[in-house]
Chain A
């Protein structure tokens, strides 16, 4: 262990050199530690994002296949008609509850939200409407009465929907807590309670606060609605909760009362099915499954098929865009941090190797003396390594103290930059959440006794959710743990070892005679 003692003497005697090495090594380690802490924080944040966010898979009718079936049956029946499908004959199968429950039992399903929507007319209260819409409705009615509407014509589907639509949307759900408006934060229960599984087969309802105020309705009151096609069919709903929505009425909802977000009433999906008719008993328009691990989305799809999901009738649409959008800046930061670690390690090794090479050249004479005394070459190299180790320990302490701060500054700036880039990219692409037809509503146009359409909540709320989640990742919790310090020590050791090995190639070739007798 004589070489360790010599390393100590040398380190102690050559204070300038030791300080220089400590300074350089500290700088290298600070950057590596910053990279490691950012990387670790990004990974943790991604893990948390996975846990908190999950990803969704929507089970709904396979519209494409339904359309194809409709088209083929038309051409079979009437060869004289053109190949185009008849919108009036277009029929789709709602998702049956057995399938819903089978898929809900699969691994990785954190929660699921059943959606079944329809429309009704307000009876004991007034729906919130606009003047434009009244005018529009009257002109529509006139047009209809004028007999311009031809079966199978291009406008017939829309006309059917308009004729069968009421002024109130019934949003049937199994649990308001898992409904997309509520999970995204667009809607919040302000009074009373939401709809839960316990409300199955009940007439409980949750109404919007503006609708409640306008009609002086409070929790515990009973309201009446009528079937949109048959005013004689009256349904009583007991108000168990009031919610507030932050969704604003768009041009579409200004024209159609039922699409006004204030006119949405949440009930159990069983109530919505009851309004829609017997054909819709034990069914749903769509079901959104939230997965606990977004990365197992593909597995879920496979498992669903294995469990007997009829993919001709139903389709599974995956949606991890929120998760992806949320983690994209983190992944970029993590990737950048990884590159920092690799680059700084490589550069550090080269820099240290150069310093050690210069140091060894300067100490050629000392090496000659040691070789003349019969010291083994590996012990001489060991001495240089021990000297670097002593410097490494001091540099580790310095890096440990300052690395966290550097990591915080660099990490926050990186994340801010990445989040801004991601947000602007998302906006430029027109991204999800720009509105559009609601999936649940759109699927069931013209079906059932009542026109069935949603407010586009599944997609329209997606934007709000994205924005909210994008905000969540603006904070990166950069902490210094023992794991990072151990990793840093490992990197330091590897760098020291490589630097000494590179620099020692010369030592291995040195001849004491040439050094000492010249």
Chain B
């Protein structure tokens, strides 16, 4: 078990209006999860909790049995989790490759030749060396999202969480992104949790959890 959500409750202003009540979930490595839910259901808030961007009001989140509080949120984000955002969140003044190398440096990646490794990883997702050296703002939305995913891949964190990663992309690009996530989970053995409101994307995942009425329920899709 990689990640365990234990008796988690969360609310913003009023306890009575809690987003979730006593949530208990577990996430395994090598699997691709999706959390499905309508807008305002609290999907993104849940992501912020498991990504160490926020803390639950009650309950706790454990990474490989260790409380995130104990690990330290900054340390957790630095060493154990990679986040992919809907709006890519790349550093705007850098090229694609520099964004990745910078992230590898921040997270103390053990990769020997970081730049070459970043080029090769970008090459794998269809970003040529020429494109990789361009400022990220000159890349398309799909390309930027692929750069963001490669950043998560290169950071060596074993848990990857993605918030609406295909929200700004067309169908073709969306499927390409899902393929990359599958590869991350199945080939690299990472635990990938994708937050989405698109059923088509959710269907591609190994396990689908639907957030409805403050509860997470596992959905089974018929192929």
Residues of A within 8 A of B (CB): 2, 5-6, 9-10, 12-14, 365-366, 368-376, 511-513, 516-517
Contact in complex: B85, A516 (CB < 8 Å): yes
Per-position 1/0 for B76-100, Cβ under 8 A of A: 1111000101000111111000100
Nearest Cβ in chain A — how far from B42, in angstroms?
12
The B158-209 residues at the A interface (CB cut-off 8 A) are 163
Nearest Cβ in chain B — how far from A374, in angstroms?
2
Contact in complex: B92, A366 (CB < 8 Å): yes
* Known contacts A14-B93, A516-B85; is-contact A373 B103 (Cβ 8 Å): yes
Which single residue of chain A is at the shortest CB-CB distance from B54? A513
Question: Once bound together, how far apart are the Cα atoms of A374 and B85, in whole Å?
Answer: 15
Q: Tell me if B24 is interfacial: C-beta within 8 Å of chain A.
A: no
Give the size range of B's interface with the partner.
20 to 34
User: Which residues of B sit under 8 angstroms from A511, Cβ to Cβ?
Assistant: 53-54
User: Which residues of B sit under 8 angstroms from A368, Cβ to Cβ?
Assistant: 89
25 A-B contact pairs sorted by A residue (CB < 8 Å): A2-B105, A6-B94, A9-B93, A9-B98, A13-B92, A13-B94, A13-B135, A14-B93, A366-B91, A370-B106, A372-B51, A372-B53, A372-B77, A372-B85, A373-B78, A373-B103, A374-B77, A375-B106, A511-B53, A513-B53, A513-B54, A516-B53, A516-B89, A517-B45, A517-B163
Contact in complex: B48, A517 (CB < 8 Å): yes
Question: Once bound together, how far apart are the Cα atoms of A257 and B67, in whole Å?
Answer: 110
User: Which residues of A sit under 8 angstroms from B54, Cβ to Cβ?
Assistant: 511, 513
Question: Once bound together, how far apart are the Cα atoms of A372 and B79, in whole Å?
Answer: 11
Q: Tell me if B107 is interfacial: C-beta within 8 Å of chain A.
A: yes
Contact in complex: A517, B44 (CB < 8 Å): yes
* Known contacts A513-B54, A516-B53; is-contact A2 B89 (Cβ 8 Å): no
Residue in A2, A366, A512 whose CB lies within 8 Å of B53: A512
User: Which residues of A sit under 8 angstroms from B90, Cβ to Cβ?
Assistant: 369
9 A-B pairs with least C-beta separation: A374-B78, A13-B93, A374-B77, A513-B53, A2-B105, A513-B48, A369-B89, A513-B54, A373-B106
User: Which residues of A sit under 8 angstroms from B75, Cβ to Cβ?
Assistant: 374
Contact in complex: A372, B106 (CB < 8 Å): no
Q: Tell me if B102 is interfacial: C-beta within 8 Å of chain A.
A: yes
Contact in complex: A375, B163 (CB < 8 Å): no
Which single residue of chain B is at the shortest CB-CB distance from A512? B53
* Known contacts A366-B91, A516-B85, A517-B53; is-contact A374 B79 (Cβ 8 Å): yes
